[in-house]
Amino acid sequence: MSGAATATSGTITAPQKKPFYRVLYVQVLAAIVLGVIVGWLWPDLGKNDWIKAMGDGFVKLIKMAIAPIIFCTVVSGIAHISEVKKVGRVAIKALIYFEVVSTFALALGLIVANLLHPGSGFQGQSNAAAVAGYAKQASEMKSVDFVLHIIPDTVVGAFAQGEILQVLLFAILFGFALMGLGERAHTVRSFVDDVAHAMFGVISIVVKVAPIGAFGAMAYTIGRYGPQALGNLAGLIATFYLTAFLFVIVGLGIIARIAGFSIFKFLKYIKDELLIVLGTSSSESALPQMMEKLEKLGCSKSVVGLVVPTGYSFNLDGTNIYMTLATLFIAQAMNVDLSFGEQMTILVVAMLTSKGASGITGAGFITLAGTLAAVRPELLPGMAIVLGIDKFMSECRALTNLCGNGVACVVVAWWEGELDREKLTAGLDRNIDPTDMETAITTG
């Protein structure tokens, strides 16, 4: 009787917690472990094209929605702002933050490499031909070409080719145009907002197959390269993961504490996205969900729309750590002494080359080639030393990049006074699966 009374009393009860096996991050984690086992015990099966297609297909499903989501988010964020000065202010603050934190990431890689000397006494084979393609791409990267490439030949072409910087440029211009039209643009603004909600709905459907994508990507990686690939250069991999861990926990942790939140709670909040990135080795695979979760965390739509897409091109903390650490590893492995001045040059050059390769497949490896070519060209053949394990390094780069951009968005929102503290506290203290649309809607 009491149960019936409760059921008919009209009181609102909290949504029931889903069984653990239906939670996304549990499914992705199980898929990663299963992928490792399959790739290790049955490498031929792991290298199967259909297994590989599982991972590649999931990343493509996510990427197909990134350009329209970024366009709608940026346009909506700018169009709803009443003053132009605010847009410029947010952009300047974001760029200042990016440069300061990127410099710290680059310096951390240099410091750890000088302290631990991971390349000293290395004995390995060097195949210069294996990196010829990367070196060629790096030599062709010029600042003027990078700037001109931001401007699309056609707007449709930018969307069709998935050129994020080009889409971002057009979105900014379109947003300012709507802002200038005022109330006359109300219908267009509403349409853009509706399209954005629809695209996030697409992502909420696609993300449910993330475990399949993570399984395929991990099984192929282990099956293709084998666990022995980790053995030869385990020292470098361990050093890189340790450095990235210190950067996230200590570096970003201090920044987060200054902004008034816990890095540990934040990492727990984005655990689904971290596991998706771990499984796919691509930070882009979690971009749409990350933007949505940051808005739910209390960051304003305008800040999220400007900071996150820009950060994916200008705030690559994991790539920065990798470049300086790998450069010194190669120099140590080839018994080449780099002076303090040369190491400072590496830091400056790496900061520039990391911007120029955004959006390029294998960007981490290409930027490494660009840095070596600019500082000590004789070190270029040594890139073959790390070529075999770059796949394993890319996962850590992507994870660090994701964490860095997430924290950057919250910090800039706090700096700009566009952070809802109540939403931030509530979001970091509760445990809701963002793929459960019913729960997300119920909780607002």
Cα distances (angstroms) measured from residue 20 to each of 185, 420, 441: 46, 30, 21
- Report how far residue 287's alpha carbon sits from residue 317's, in angstroms, rounded to the nearest whole number: 16
Neighbours of 403 (CB within 10 A): 25
Comparing CA positions, the residue from 284, 258, 314, 321 lying closest to residue 92 is 314
- Report how far residue 201's alpha carbon sits from residue 257's, in angstroms, rounded to the nearest whole number: 33
Alpha-carbon dihedral angle through residues 296, 298, 301, 303, given to the nearest 10 degrees: -130
Dihedral sign from CA coordinates of 92, 95, 97, 99: negative
Q: Which two tokens stand for residue 33?
A: 């472990």
Q: Does a structural domain hold residue 418? A: yes
pTM exceeds cut of 0.95: no
Give Cβ neighbours of residue 93 (< 8 Å, ≥ 6 apart). 412, 415, 416
How much is the pLDDT for 415? 92
Q: Does a structural domain hold residue 400? A: yes
> Cα–Cα–Cα angle for 260, 264, 266, nearest 5°?
65
How much is the pLDDT for 414? 94
DSSP code of residue 9? S
Q: Does a structural domain hold residue 402? A: yes
Greatest extent of the chain over all pairs of C-alpha atoms, in Å? 83
Q: Does a structural domain hold residue 307? A: yes
How much is the pLDDT for 308? 85
How much is the pLDDT for 294? 92
How much is the pLDDT for 121? 66
Comparing CA positions, the residue from 284, 286, 351 lying closest to residue 320 is 351
Q: Give φ, ψ of 299 to 5 degrees.
A: -80, 135
Q: Give φ, ψ of 419 to 5 degrees.
A: -115, 120
Q: Domain of 378: which CATH number?
A: 1.10.3860.10
Residue 218 · residue 281 · CB < 8 Å? no
Q: Which two tokens stand for residue 8?
A: 């008919």
Q: Which two tokens stand for residue 159?
A: 């969307």
One digit per residue, the tens of pLDDT, for the chain of length 444 reads 344 443 444 443 444 566 766 777 678 778 888 888 888 888 888 888 888 888 888 878 877 877 887 788 778 777 766 566 777 788 888 889 998 999 999 999 999 989 988 877 665 444 444 444 544 554 555 557 667 777 888 888 888 887 777 887 888 889 888 888 878 888 888 898 888 888 878 877 887 888 888 888 778 877 876 665 455 457 778 889 999 999 999 999 999 999 999 999 999 999 888 888 877 766 777 778 888 899 999 998 888 888 888 787 778 888 889 888 888 888 887 777 888 888 888 887 777 656 544 444 455 666 676 677 667 777 777 776 676 566 667 778 888 989 999 999 999 999 988 899 989 998 898 744 444 433 443 344
- Report how far residue 38's alpha carbon sits from residue 44's, in angstroms, rounded to the nearest whole number: 9
Q: Does a structural domain hold residue 309? A: yes
Q: Does a structural domain hold residue 157? A: yes
Dihedral sign from CA coordinates of 65, 88, 350, 246: negative
Q: Does a structural domain hold residue 171? A: yes
Q: Does a structural domain hold residue 346? A: yes
Residue 117 · residue 338 · CB < 8 Å? no
* Residue-range definition of the domain harbouring residue 438: 19-442
Q: In the chain, how many domains are there? A: 1
Residue 134 · residue 383 · CB < 8 Å? yes
